[in-house]
Structure 1
Amino acid sequence: MQHTEKITGNQLGILLFSFIASTIVLTIPGLMAMFAKQDAWISVIPSTTTGLLSIWVMTKLANRYPGLTIIAYSQKILGKWLGTCLGLYYIYFWFMSISIMTIQHTFFIKTLLLPRSPSIIGSLTLLILCGLAVYMGIEVIGRCSEFLTPLKLVFLIPLLILTIGAADHEQLKPVLADGFLPVLQGAILPAGAFMNQLFILGWLLPYLNQPQKAFKISLYALICIFVFIFIIVLSTILVLGSLTGQLNYSYLSVMQYIGIEGSFERLEAIAVMVWVIGSFVKVSVSLFILSISISQIFGIRNYRDLVAPITLLCLIGSVWVFKNGAELQTYLTLIYPSGGFVTQSLIPLLLLLIDTIKRKAMPSAH
């Protein structure tokens, strides 16, 4: 299957970085510190293993089925009926993911910026913008990310430098006071829920203009994600210490603390900018994936015909998926890590294993 839309290697790398690192920058230190406490910065290191696994599995499958998405080659590996069932499951997964991402964005904006605005307004504005980007195509989403992500880093890097003055290395002690088990528990969250989101390669690699560079580009993106999250988590613990695990948006609190210490005003505006840019890229890519998944399962020639109704359905989904921020926090902490691991790592790994067994059993068929 040939795709007329193409993205460059740089655009793919930036999309992967922005998709995973953009929104979790404000929340991940607190979520990890709930388990690992002051050792949360160590937890970032083992959390990258599932990211490596996802890259290896998705690029391996893409090389065996060039030009096909995971929806298309699942039917070749599992057969039409089982492959279609898996495709329908992924459609459900992405619909729920977009609904959750949208309401998470809305809760954040309501908490920090517009507490009296109806939730549906925040969700509607984000989804309309993302729907327009998806309708224009993956090339436009890639170009937007290529422009917006460096802009976001221009504002974040000076903030990270400012945290040096407020850092206290005593906050890291005692190191491994409770052993290595809490560190592994802290690693489960980013590993199960975030690092393995690199499985979006299963939908994006067919649009890469240089498929032979897919593994190298993805690996560079993973390294950048690891370094970025490591610095964010470490700096948050150095500033907030034991408070990190008690805050939903811990790095936002770091920004506010820096503002007070350095007499800067309204630094949370940078947090809003980072969050909105990250949400735009993440929801746009997810909406694109959902649209092409439905078009391939049901044989619809042009996925753009589906963008408007899917966007509306996701708006409805965002309204009923969670009633409040506490339910969202419980989901992100306790439910999504295991569900994300199964959906994003285990299922693709099983596809590769089944395909390998079939190739060895029937070498002439390939």
Structure 2
Amino acid sequence: MLKDVKISVRQFAVLVMIYTIGTTILVIPSGLAADAKQDAWLAAIIGVGLNLLIVCLYNKVGGYFPNMTLTEYNEKLFGKWLGKILSLSFIFFSFVGSATVLFYMGNFVNTQVMPETPIQFVNLIFAIVVAMGVRLGLETIIRAAEIFFPWIIMLFIILVACLLPEIQLEKLQPIFSVGSKPLIKAAISVVGTSALPFIVLLMVFPAHVNQYQKAKKAFLLATLIGGAGFVIITFLCISVLGTKMTERHMFPSYALAKQINIGNFLERVEILIAGIWFLTVYFKTTFYFYGFVTGLAQILNIEDYRPLVLPLGMILVVFSLIVYPNVAYMAEFDTKIYIPYALTIGLLYPILIVGVAAIRKLMTKN
């Protein structure tokens, strides 16, 4: 299973930052505004703090089995059959994640950029590029991420700089008006969207990272930096668009970029946010799909996962078209079903791994 593939700590940090931003910057401000109103940016900050706790948990998981991927140490820890069942639940989560993100991409392009293009063709073209990346392997994907990362940062800085004159601080008032319960609910939605999907990275970390101790610190730092990105976007959405506009838009940060107008000369630059999103969503979809394909290959004891990429990619395209029958179902699923599902796979499951590993380690010592 290509055991000799290794990536550097810097490359892993870039991957984590891109993965954190992913779908978050385009989608999450709307849900935060619905729950926390003008305090949405505070909920985003609380969510980043919770994200760091989740990363500490994943660092702990990786510390017990530094030379194995998640599906490999499932069997070592829980036995052959129970381990395979748990691994199947994980790879199904990866599959659903890749399909839903692919739907987001197709829906965004179909509704905002090219309304006359059928979503089937958008999903198919995007999935072909994702499958190409997964087939070329981990090192190729990471090097591509390194190349595009400076462009993502540059586009983000330009976007923020152009929106600074549009900020109206009175739209943030009154602060702390919604109470603690909506803030916590909104923060949990941040965790479910940005941090809990990190469990897919356990197919890479720490088995394929060359310096585990440094990678743990890089994991935390990259999560913090990526989190700062969507905190800034949420702050801008509330302070520029206002609570009601942010809540009403499905893609509020895209609507935010439409507000840029400098001297009636620099305007209609929403392609900046679209460019950031296309790049980050590509890598998020790719690693969801990578976790799905490599995990299934390891369960089936297949040495090389690449023959599975094409048939599973075809299944992915079909599933991405039926995973959400309509946008109303998508909103209902994301708020009431996905968050508990992500908490089960991304939080309770790693806690179970840490608990069982600690007990077995103690029994071995005794």
Contact 2:130 2:286 survives alignment (8 Å) = yes
Q: 1:4 to 1:82 in 2, by over 3 A?
A: same
Shift of 1:260: 7.9
Alignment match, 1:240: 241
Question: CA offsets per residue over residues 244-263 of structure 1, 9 Å max, x none?
Answer: 11211111111101148754
Alignment match, 1:83: 83
2:286 to 284, 287, 297: 284
Listed as ranges, the matches of 1:71-110 within 5 Å are 71-110=71-110
Alignment match, 1:250: 252
Q: Equivalent residue of 1:207, what SS?
A: coil
Please give the alpha-carbon distance, in whole angstroms, between the structure 2 residues aligned to 1:166 and 1:123: 35
Alignment match, 1:176: 176
Moved more, 1-10 or 94-103: 1-10
Contact 2:98 2:286 survives alignment (8 Å) = no
Contact 1:9 1:210 survives alignment (8 Å) = yes
Shift of 1:14: 1.0
Q: 1:261 to 1:194 in 2, by over 3 A?
A: farther
Q: 1:5 to 1:295 in 2, by over 3 A?
A: same
Amino acid at match of 1:357: I
Aligned residues: 364
Q: 1:196 to 1:262 in 2, by over 3 A?
A: farther
Please give the alpha-carbon distance, in whole angstroms, between the structure 1 residues aligned to 2:341 and 2:36: 21
Alignment match, 1:63: 63
Q: 1:178 to 1:147 in 2, by over 3 A?
A: same
Shift of 1:31: 1.1
Contact 1:295 1:301 survives alignment (8 Å) = yes
Amino acid at match of 2:129: L
Q: Equivalent residue of 1:362, what SS?
A: helix
Unaligned runs of 5+ in 2: none
Contact 1:59 1:214 survives alignment (8 Å) = no
Q: Equivalent residue of 1:174, what SS?
A: coil
Q: Equivalent residue of 1:48, what SS?
A: helix
- Indicate yes or no: 2:340 matched with 1:338: yes
Please give the alpha-carbon distance, in whole angstroms, between the structure 1 residues aligned to 2:12 and 2:65: 19
TM-score (norm 2): 0.95
Listed as ranges, the matches of 1:2-151 within 5 Å are 3-151=3-151
Alignment match, 1:197: 197
Please give the alpha-carbon distance, in whole angstroms, between the structure 2 residues aligned to 1:259 and 1:71: 50
Amino acid at match of 1:363: K
TM-score (norm 1): 0.95
Amino acid at match of 1:219: L
Listed as ranges, the matches of 1:190-339 within 5 Å are 190-205=190-205, 206-242=207-243, 243-259=245-261, 262-339=264-341
Provide the identity percentage: 27
Please give the alpha-carbon distance, in whole angstroms, between the structure 1 residues aligned to 2:195 and 2:227: 9
Please give the alpha-carbon distance, in whole angstroms, between the structure 2 residues aligned to 1:248 and 1:2: 41
Q: RMSD of the alignment, in Å?
A: 1.7
Please give the alpha-carbon distance, in whole angstroms, between the structure 1 residues aligned to 2:200 and 2:268: 35
Q: Equivalent residue of 2:301, what SS?
A: coil
Please give the alpha-carbon distance, in whole angstroms, between the structure 2 residues aligned to 1:361 and 1:253: 57
Please give the alpha-carbon distance, in whole angstroms, between the structure 2 residues aligned to 1:344 and 1:261: 47
Shift of 1:39: 0.3
Contact 1:50 1:345 survives alignment (8 Å) = no
Question: CA offsets per residue over residues 258-281 of structure 1, 9 Å max, x none?
Answer: 148754343122222122112211
Please give the alpha-carbon distance, in whole angstroms, between the structure 2 residues aligned to 1:260 and 1:93: 44
Moved more, 295-304 or 17-26: 17-26
Which of structure 1's runs of 4+ aligned residues deviate more than 3 A?
A: 259-263
Amino acid at match of 2:62: A
Q: 1:53 to 1:310 in 2, by over 3 A?
A: same
Shift of 1:2: 7.3
Alignment match, 1:167: 167
Please give the alpha-carbon distance, in whole angstroms, between the structure 2 residues aligned to 1:140 and 1:93: 24
Q: 1:262 to 1:362 in 2, by over 3 A?
A: farther
Please give the alpha-carbon distance, in whole angstroms, between the structure 2 residues aligned to 1:330 and 1:122: 24
Contact 1:193 1:338 survives alignment (8 Å) = no
Moved more, 22-31 or 355-364: 355-364
Unaligned runs of 5+ in 1: none
Question: CA offsets per residue over residues 82-111 of structure 1, 9 Å max, x none?
Answer: 111001111211111111111110000001
